[in-house]
Amino acid sequence: MGNERVTPEVIRQYWMQLEKKGTVNVKPIIQCISQEFGPLDETSLTSQILRTQTESYLYHGTHEVVSNLLAQGDRIVIWTQGDPQLQAWKIATSGLSTLRKGEKARNRPNFIFFSAEDKIPAVPEIISKYLRTKTSMTDEFFFRRALIVDDKAHNIVAAQNIVTESRKAGILPTAEELPINFVWMRHELGRSKDVLPEGINMDTLLNSCSVANSPADLLTIRERHNQDKNLLWLLDVDHTILNTSGWRNNHYQTIAEALNQ
């Protein structure tokens, strides 16, 4: 019914126009597009709207940074918190999933997606599971160091605590056997996400982790560990590599509502 004329650019144009008016759901977009293009298959158009690519939501340089790390032989676990279906949708529409498709089949296990409503308890299991390559026939670690990247101070501290507890319990290797570093992604300073857990002061936290102000800073951090050859990254999504602030968050809320119908 003429849906082929409705390109992603058209959808994005109407989305932005309606966002400025405070409207952030699918139906008004369909109404506006139908006024311009005539009767359309609403089911198909809804699917088109929800699948609109969101590469522009990625922080500048994210695609290049992830590609660079994979090219160096690192393993990246997209480690995200929230509804797994919605989080997977974010990665798929951001264009990052094309990096996995572009990898040779034997390298695809180096780009992994993990999501849970509470991702912190899974840290020891993720690290233990992905320390070695699937083809390794020995107990030797293929990845010599792990780095955990998140934008929330609370998550950094929680991850540090569970790593410490897991080492004491023998679940994770010792710090000498496997160094684990923490990276606090701070795109903007003074945000509510800088609120520290009780009993932790800013100096203590800053002394226990590296700070990145953009995805490009991850490459600088990577250079510090070149001697380790292969690294394992646990990489957060929202506000770390993907800007989900403001109207972008409204976009994802609309998607979440549609996925849960």
The answer to whether 217 touches 62, Cβ cutoff 8 Å, is: no
The answer to whether 15 touches 251, Cβ cutoff 8 Å, is: yes
Q: What is the pLDDT of residues 136-172, one digit of tens each?
A: 555 567 888 999 999 999 999 999 999 999 999 999 9
- Is 124 part of a structural domain of the chain? yes
CATH number at residue 180: 3.40.50
Q: How many domains does the chain have?
A: 2
- Is 251 part of a structural domain of the chain? no
- Is 48 part of a structural domain of the chain? yes
- Is 261 part of a structural domain of the chain? no
Which domain covers residue 24, as residue numbers? Answer: 3-52
- Is 256 part of a structural domain of the chain? no
Phi-psi category of residue 170: left, alpha or beta, with phi > 0 → left and psi -120 to 50 → alpha: left
* 136 shares its domain with 220: yes
Q: What is the pLDDT of residues 59-102, one digit of tens each?
A: 999 999 999 999 998 999 999 999 888 898 889 888 888 877 66
